[in-house]
Chains A and B, each alone.
Chain A
Amino acid sequence: MPSLSEIIRHSQIWKSIFRHPAPVDRRNRVVVMLTNFFLHLHPVSIKKQGIALSYTWCMGGVTFFLFLVETVTGVLLMFYYRPTLEWAYKDILALRDVMSMGILRELHRWGAHAMVITVWLHMYRVFLTGSYKPPREFNWVIGVILLLLTLLLSFTGYLLPWDQLAIWAITVGSNMARATPILGHEGPGSQLLTVDGIPMITNASDARFALLGARFVGEETLNRFYVLHCIALPLAVAFLLAIHFWRVRKDGGISGPL
């Protein structure tokens, strides 16, 4: 009698999804890496160094995993959340009070904090092993942009609950843009941009206004941050991650002593 799991694993449906049985011999372990979409990010074989936890700390991988967690929980949150002055706060409140056993928001928020920490640790590891040295210089540069985007993702998300914590943190953060040299209305050099004595850079046309969509943190800001947080920034991160991973492979895999 074949066992249930054997029946399943020999069925046409199973075989059509997983082209290969769980590999046990060397040949099949090679083949599985080549035929599975999710695994093909990896090489078939790798220096022992690349899998040593004490070497990579797995921090790049954990960061990527947290990014996926954020994507999934974020999409779920979007089902509940409306980015308007009327609803934003109430929807968050409902997530807490109405949903039974709701930890969706917690997963998303703590996941975001954790991601900021793990990106830093990943950068720290890459620095300590000197892995930014040739030929990996450019992947480090991409990494720095990813770091910046991760912080911006966290920052834009901070506003969405629309409570006191949110708007004042964003107000403090975005007030700095007011002082951008030349482009902020309180920044040095902004007086240079005047036409016929009329200043061109005012609180309704400066860098901060572009960021907030208004002169203070209001509904326009909420909309802007929502779009940035849910669409623009994640797409940018996904795009750069693809390049980041591709470069890890093309630069010769995980770094190691020459």
Chain B
Amino acid sequence: MHGHNEALFLEEISSFLGLYYLFLAALNAGAAFYLWRRGRGIRLIGPIRSFHCWLLLALLFTMIAPLAFSGDPQVMRWISLPPSVRDFIDWLMGPVVYSVGTVAVLTVLFVGRRFFVKPTVAWLMLNGALLFMGLAMTDPDFADIVRKPDNVPIVGLIYLLGYFTWLGAYLAVENDKRIQQGLPPKEKELDEKVLVWPDLVYTELICMIAVTALLFVWAICIKAPLEEPASAVKTPNPSKAPWYFLGLQEMLVYYDPWMAGVVLPSLIIFGLMAIPYLDFNKKGNGYYTIDERKFSYIVFQFGFIVLWVTLIVLGTFLRGPNWNFFGPFETWDPHKVEALNNVDLSEFFWVRWLQRARPRPPEDAGMLIKVGVILIRELPGILLLIGYFAITPAAMVVWSRFFRELFKKMGLFRYMTMMFLLQVMLLLPVKMVCRWSFNLKYFIAIPEWMLNF
């Protein structure tokens, strides 16, 4: 469908891409130089050391750069993802693959963290991610979403978060090794005091200058967006909240607004504030470690990286018109229809399982009868949720040694608060899975009271 347009697009993006590859080359050359000067590159095979590889990569990227600068469709084909790969990714991608895939990848990274935090491995992964980004940028649909001025920060966020997650994990793995050998964490060696002037004051000054410079470059390169004047009658499709709230907007797919927009955000804030009062583990105070506080580490990472950031990325890049899901290389077609026939739990129970109509209060019934009938109709969901919130915490204490320890150390009130927050958090993925696997709409559906859950 593109043809002429595609050629125009490639020309437009070529100078950016060329600079991008030069930047990658500089990055690798810099790394190679740094390692060589310090004599720090690890030995790979025979005399070949890691900085030789980075130098080679730098050369490779330098050679790619002119191809990108050319802007010629025939040449650019060589530095693009082949259409078949793009189609395959689009076909494969869906909310299920995306979410489950992210969790799977993060789990692998976590379990194999001792391997993945190695600088050589991490640098290779960074190169891979950057190269993929470059290869994908020649796709107009991909470039369209990524280059939207308000989306640029999210691309930055992804890389920054990747970097800092690596850094935190790297320092933690180092410390965990030391602790295993009976040594104190590395931070302990930095116990001696130094004067704030000049050490800290100058660091701060340099940080400020760096941030200012970055902000200026960003401001000069990318114009702040300004669309048509506001109009209350022309609704854009999709209408999206600002990017940092897109995780909440994504939750609207699974929850009604009173949950996704009010109750859950309040609980997120409350839960964050509660962390210091729930985490009674005295270890891991003031230094990086994972082994000494695995449980809290996993819980926080799950909440922050999986539920907060991945949902934002999903909401920003993969949700198009009508909040339908679109693969990263798919054109946002407003006419795409997705069949939605979601079913409430009460319907599953009464209609499909017991094969009878759902109980309905007689028209002229009194208030109490109406309430009673509604409650009976929704009994399966109500029981399920009561069971989930009341029985699980007790069952965990009975069955799991770990939770029994938690319960003993925390006491009833703190334990129940923690379990409630954890379970609310877990209910989102639970609900997602129920939706994907049997189109479940609500556990409890009482539209009469606008109370759907």
Residues of A within 8 A of B (CB): 23, 26, 29-30, 32-33, 39, 42-55, 57-58, 61-62, 65-66, 69, 89, 92-93, 96, 103, 105-107, 109-111, 113-114, 116-117, 120-121, 124-125, 127-134, 136-138, 140-141, 144, 147-148, 151, 154-155, 158, 161-169, 171-173, 175-181, 184, 186-191, 216-218, 255-258
Contact = CB atoms under 8 A, between A and B. Distances in A.
Contact of A164 (B208, B234, B276): B234
A40 to B, nearest CB: 10
A258 B248 CA distance: 39
B160 A187 contact: no
Contacts of B215: 69, 107, 110-111, 114
A258 B285 contact: yes
A144 B196 CA distance: 28
A167 B204 CA distance: 38
Given A23-B197, A54-B167, A116-B244, A188 B450 contact: yes
Interface in B420-453: 446, 449-451
B286 interface: yes
B364 to A, nearest CB: 17
B382 to A, nearest CB: 14
A93 B226 contact: yes
Interface residues of B: mostly helix, strand, loop or mixed? helix
A161 B283 CA distance: 48
Contact of A144 (B232, B236, B272): B272
Nearest to B260: A176
Interface stretch (B86-94, B98-106, B217-225, B401-409): B217-225
Given A54-B171, A140-B276, A191-B449, A48 B193 contact: yes
Contact of B218 (A39, A106, A155, A177): A106
B353 interface: no
Contact of B245 (A26, A148, A173, A256): A173
B228 A163 contact: yes
A132 B230 contact: no
A51 B262 contact: no
Interface in B270-294: 272-273, 275-277, 279, 281-289, 293
Interface in B218-256: 218-220, 222-232, 234-236, 239-242, 244-245, 248-249, 256
B168 A128 contact: yes
Interface string B193-220: 1111111110110011001100110111
A168 B286 CA distance: 43
Main secondary structure of the interface of A (DSSP, over half): helix
A152 to B, nearest CB: 11
B444 to A, nearest CB: 10
B196 A44 contact: yes
A42 B198 CA distance: 12
B167 A141 contact: no
A110 B219 contact: yes
B313 to A, nearest CB: 13
Contacts, number: 275
Nearest to B171: A54
Contacts of A89: 229-230
A69 B156 CA distance: 20
A122 B286 CA distance: 14
Contact of B190 (A49, A120, A162, A216): A49
9 contacts: A49-B190, A105-B224, A107-B215, A130-B286, A133-B282, A155-B245, A181-B263, A188-B449, A257-B286
B328 interface: no
Contacts of B240: 168-169, 172
Contact of B160 (A117, A127, A147, A255): A117
A188 B261 CA distance: 13
B161 interface: yes
A148 B244 CA distance: 11
B12 to A, nearest CB: 21
Nearest to A183: B262
A45 B193 contact: yes
A125 B168 contact: yes
